[in-house]
Structure 1
Amino acid sequence: MSDVQTIIKIAKNEVGYHEGKSGGHWNNSQKFSPAVPGLEWSQNQAWCATFVSWCALKAGLADLYPRTASCATGVSWFKQRGRWSAYPAIGAQVFFGRNGGSHTGLVYDYDDRFVYTVEGNTNADGSAEGDGVYLKKRERRSSYVYGYGYPRFSAGIVSADPAYKGKVPEKPASSIVALSSGVKPGGRHAQVRELQQLLVKAGFGPIKGAVTDFYGPETQRAVARFHDANPRYRSVGVAHDPKIGPSGFVALQKLAGRR
């Protein structure tokens, strides 16, 4: 399941949820504020933006959406990153009202006339008092629709914006790192800890005494096991090679699951 499918599924699963009531009125007491680190203070306040932050956190996409209880802050967050558009996109965060500060939700679909959303702290009848999570159908060209924040999905984004048509999917930043020249058998270096962790994760452990910055005999034996299984990365003519090289370190990271 893609990132955008994941967050939309999580949001839709909450449709039908209602906030609490007191004195015969909805009171903005809900489960989302206490579950988002840093937004606990927003309990009993308008929670449409908090709902989006909660969905992003649950989907493992917290870095792609603003963590805020403020719609205005959410608008600024996307604009500062150059991720703003007047056109809808699947998985985009839509903002409503004057300068986008009145209300927000998640887009799960759109067509030529309408944008289809999942929204928290709204209602079924269009009144000003929100009470829960609903699926909504909005006129795209309504003056109430201010604009859309585009999350930086690794696979790109499906958008009505002409500027995004045919755009090559955006690739996530690689987590592969280079090997320091200071990482040598018998020596000490901070990156040796990383080397040991990668060796164990890739199945070339155990490394007795790890994790440490010492490239000792146990680490050397683990590196030798890696080279025995991947001889193309060992030093020429060296059997059971105990020294990791730059290309071998890259290959080891990929074997350990880095991309």
Structure 2
Amino acid sequence: MPLSRTAYVNILRSQTGYHEGRDKNGNWNNIQRFSPETPGLEWSQGQAWCATFTAWGADELGARSLWPITASCYYAVDWWKKAGRFTEYPVLGGPFYLGKVGEDHVGVVYAYDDNSIYTVEGNTNAGGAFQGDGVYQRVRPRRGPGSPYGYGVPAFTEGTVSADPKLGGTRTASVPPPAPPEVRVSAAHIAAAARRDPGLRQGGTTYPAEVNVVEVALARAGLLKDAYAHDGSFGSLSVSAYAAWQRSKAGGAYTGADADGIPGRTSLARLGKVHGFTVID
């Protein structure tokens, strides 16, 4: 299936702010949504996932044949080279690879100019680490220390835009900015997680992506410590925090059994209205 550069970059950028899980000691653990959601890469759960993240985007758009479906940056570089689609110049919408032979880290370029590439990356952090905790948008140097080993050249439907003189020599480029995403949360899923997750082993999850949205909202409301707001598990601390939301005036001023920490649609919609998500079902 064809692959649109704009659609591909924007689906990755829509995940900005997503975080992997934590272990029982509160440390980031590489457990994330992209490995189990990418057929053939389920085995990579718990490992470095920067390459898996880029493969996930292509798979989500039905374009597996146009992207290396691998969890290895090294094998991804080899895939692009064997396809004759690798360059040392930035490629709009293309992957960049860091390391002596591109083995250390990968992200995707959504803009570039004479000096910098503007990227979206999984398994990094605000400092640009190769082993980070989530999806970030970053700025990296085009040349010198910290610059990429090279770039893949995807076969986008819009054609190739690259600083490579052999590929057009476009000096600066960027894709259209993504539309603000509509964050959607299922009330039924959140309630199910609130009932199930506290009984699981530490960090156990039911609907982690949706729960993460609610946890972040509870943290912003000052009801849940930020350290516990990104694991996707609606555990006992989240239940207590949600009960506090239910009891608050903004949450509906519920009392007794109506403030048990199990989200109902009305109180959840109130939280979403304040903190930017839409409740469905």
The TM-score, its normalising length taken from structure 1, stands at: 0.62
Aligned twin of 1:37: 39
> In the alignment, residue 136 of structure 2 is paired with which amino acid?
Y
Deviation per CA, 1:29-64: give whole Å up to 9, x if none: 000000111100000000000000001111222221
Query: Where does structure 2 lack aligned partners over 5 or more consecutive residues?
Result: 171-281
Aligned twin of 1:28: 30
Q: Which has the bigger relative contact order, CA under 8 A and spacing at least 6?
A: 2
Superposed CA RMSD: 1.6
Q: Could you list the runs of 4 or more consecutive aligned residues of structure 1 that deviate by over 4 angstroms after TM superposition?
A: none
Counterpart of 1:17 in 2: which secondary structure? coil
Percent of aligned pairs sharing the same letter: 51
Counterpart of 1:75 in 2: which secondary structure? helix
Aligned twin of 1:88: 90
Counterpart of 1:135 in 2: which secondary structure? strand
Counterpart of 2:36 in 1: which secondary structure? helix
Query: Cα 1:142–1:59, aligned 2, differ >3 Å: closer, same or farther?
Result: farther
Counterpart of 1:74 in 2: which secondary structure? helix
Query: In 2, distance between residues paired with 1:24 and 1:11?
Result: 26
Query: In 2, distance between residues paired with 1:152 and 1:106?
Result: 14
> In the alignment, residue 15 of structure 2 is paired with which amino acid?
E
Query: Cα 1:137–1:20, aligned 2, differ >3 Å: closer, same or farther?
Result: same
Counterpart of 1:50 in 2: which secondary structure? helix
Confirm or deny that 1:147 pairs with 2:150.
yes
CA shift for structure 1 position 153? 1.7
Query: In 1, distance between residues paired with 2:162 and 2:112?
Result: 9
Aligned twin of 1:16: 17
Contact kept, 8 Å, 2:18 with 2:134, in 1: the verdict is yes
Query: Cα 1:134–1:166, aligned 2, differ >3 Å: closer, same or farther?
Result: closer
> After the TM superposition, which residues 48-59 of structure 1 pair with which residues of structure 2 at under 5 Å, given as runs?
48-59=50-61
Deviation per CA, 1:224-256: give whole Å up to 9, x if none: xxxxxxxxxxxxxxxxxxxxxxxxxxxxxxxxx
Counterpart of 1:77 in 2: which secondary structure? helix
Q: How many residues align?
A: 166
Query: In 2, distance between residues paired with 1:61 and 1:73?
Result: 18
CA shift for structure 1 position 166? 7.8
Aligned twin of 1:160: 163
Query: Cα 1:82–1:127, aligned 2, differ >3 Å: closer, same or farther?
Result: closer
> In the alignment, residue 20 of structure 1 is paired with which amino acid?
G
Query: Cα 1:17–1:83, aligned 2, differ >3 Å: closer, same or farther?
Result: same
Aligned twin of 1:76: 78
Residue from 122, 135, 141 that aligns with 2:124: 122
Q: Which moved more, 1:144-153 or 1:105-114?
A: 144-153
Query: In 2, distance between residues paired with 1:66 and 1:58?
Result: 13
> In the alignment, residue 57 of structure 1 is paired with which amino acid?
D
